[in-house]
């Protein structure tokens, strides 16, 4: 089947990123969200495109073309027109399963479902729907348009044809797909939370501050973005929930550092609240170490 219209469930950072990336590669995208802030999704995608425009990555006409391909709706009946469904909602089993069940009734039977879950098993999610063989796990890392790799997992009943559809979709989005075995946390979230947790302990023990840890890790390992900025951009509440789910699955080695719990309790959630491990401007830009060091130290 020729895929032209992609439905994206969830208008959080991941859903918006997938919508923007898919539209920039020529897909028509319908973005669904019933959560708070969903209405704001198109404006935030436009803001993201404006940032690209300011960096000369796209032209004014390309921006208009991309935005023109994305629509937003609350009406799930629109799902009947989709050729591919990408579920990108929060990693909560019952929420996801209920949404997938609804979509299962509304989408045409041949439509392949992609779930972006990172901590849940595709096989478990597939049990609640009729198209058990057509659900594929494809985990993107935000910012989706910029990260060139995605992790793919198949559930116990996923068939090869569905995997092929997901691979072709990811390839058109410019992603190299690495297929791994089904396991909660996959590669990226599991290794990232371990790194973030250890850095949090270093800060909590007073060995270094967040900016020092970030600089050492980032510059030593040749990263464009260090683990603490990554965590801040994902949201520390999300990182904490990943840790808790992985702790349930794998035991105490994923037990969150108390500092992360404290930050989440204080609503110090990262970019979305302007302060996490590091500090950010209104435009989501990282405030440099020099300007924010004092603030960081005071908070810590």
Partner 1 sequence: MNIFVLNCGSSSVKYKLFDMKQEQVLAEGRVERIGQDNAVITHQPAGREKVSKTMPILEHTTAIRECLNLLTHPEHGVLKSVDEIDAVGHRVVHGGESFSDSVLINERTKEILDSLASLAPLHNPANVTGIRAAEKIMPNVPQVAVFDTAFHSTIPPYAYLYAIPYSVYQRHKVRRYGFHGTSHKYVSQRAAELMGRPIEELKIVSCHLGNGASIAAVQNGQSVDTSMGFTPLEGLMMGTRSGDIDPGAVFYIMKQEKLSLHEIDSMLNKHSGLYGIAGVSDMRDIEKRVAEDDKLATMAYKMFEYRIRKYIGAYVAAMNGVDAIVFTAGIGENTPSLRTALCTNLSYLGIEIDEEKNKIRGEDVEISTPNSKVKVFVIPTDEELVIARDTARLV
Residues that bind partner 1 in the complex, under the rule CB under 8 A = 2, 26, 55-59, 146
The encoded tokens of residue 196 equal 């973030």
> What's the Rg (C-alpha) of the chain?
19
| Residue placing its CB nearer to partner 1 in the complex, 3 or 90 | 3
CA–CA separation, 111 vs 232, rounded Å? Answer: 35
Q: Nearest approach, Cβ of 58 to partner 1 (angstroms)?
A: 7
> What backbone torsions phi and psi does residue 146 show, to the nearest 5 degrees?
-100, -20
Q: Nearest approach, Cβ of 28 to partner 1 (angstroms)?
A: 9
Q: Nearest approach, Cβ of 176 to partner 1 (angstroms)?
A: 15
> What backbone torsions phi and psi does residue 59 show, to the nearest 5 degrees?
-105, 170
Q: Nearest approach, Cβ of 56 to partner 1 (angstroms)?
A: 4
| Residue placing its CB nearer to partner 1 in the complex, 58 or 79 | 58
| Residue placing its CB nearer to partner 1 in the complex, 150 or 186 | 150
CA–CA separation, 23 vs 28, rounded Å? Answer: 6
| Residue placing its CB nearer to partner 1 in the complex, 104 or 214 | 214
Q: Nearest approach, Cβ of 215 to partner 1 (angstroms)?
A: 16
DSSP codes of every residue in 122-180: HHHHHTTSS-GGGEEEEEE-SSTTT--EEEEEE-TT--HHHHHHHHHHHHHTTPEEEE-
| Residue placing its CB nearer to partner 1 in the complex, 4 or 262 | 4
């Amino acid at each position: 089947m020729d895929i032209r219209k992609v439905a994206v469930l969830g208008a959080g950072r991941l859903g918006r990123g997938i919508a923007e990336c898919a539209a920039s590669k020529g897909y028509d995208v319908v973005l669904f969200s019933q959560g708070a802030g969903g209405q704001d999704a198109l404006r935030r995608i436009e803001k993201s495109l404006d940032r690209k425009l300011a960096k000369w990555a796209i032209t004014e006409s390309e921006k208009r073309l991309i935005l023109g391909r994305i629509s937003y709706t609350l009406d799930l009946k629109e799902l009947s027109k989709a050729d591919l469904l990408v579920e990108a909602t929060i990693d909560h089993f019952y929420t996801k399963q209920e949404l997938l069940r609804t979509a299962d009734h509304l989408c045409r039977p041949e439509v392949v479902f992609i779930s972006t879950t990172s901590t849940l098993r595709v096989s478990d999610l597939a049990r609640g729907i009729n198209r058990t063989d057509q659900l594929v796990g494809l985990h993107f890392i935000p910012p989706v348009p910029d990260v060139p790799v995605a992790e793919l997992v198949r559930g116990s009943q996923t068939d090869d044809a569905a995997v092929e559809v997901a691979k072709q979709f990811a390839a058109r989005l410019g992603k190299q797909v690495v297929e791994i075995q089904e396991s909660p946390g996959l590669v990226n979230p599991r290794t990232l939370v371990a790194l973030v947790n250890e850095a949090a302990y270093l800060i909590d023990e007073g060995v270094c501050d967040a900016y020092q840890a970030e600089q050492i890790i980032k510059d030593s390992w040749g990263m464009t973005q260090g683990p603490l900025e990554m965590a801040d951009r994902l949201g520390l509440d999300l990182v904490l929930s990943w840790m808790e789910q992985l702790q349930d699955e794998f035991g105490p080695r994923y037990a969150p550092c108390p500092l992360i719990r404290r930050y989440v309790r204080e609503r110090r959630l990262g970019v979305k609240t302007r302060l996490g491990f590091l500090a950010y401007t209104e435009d989501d830009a990282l405030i440099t170490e020099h300007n924010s060091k004092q603030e960081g130290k005071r908070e810590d």
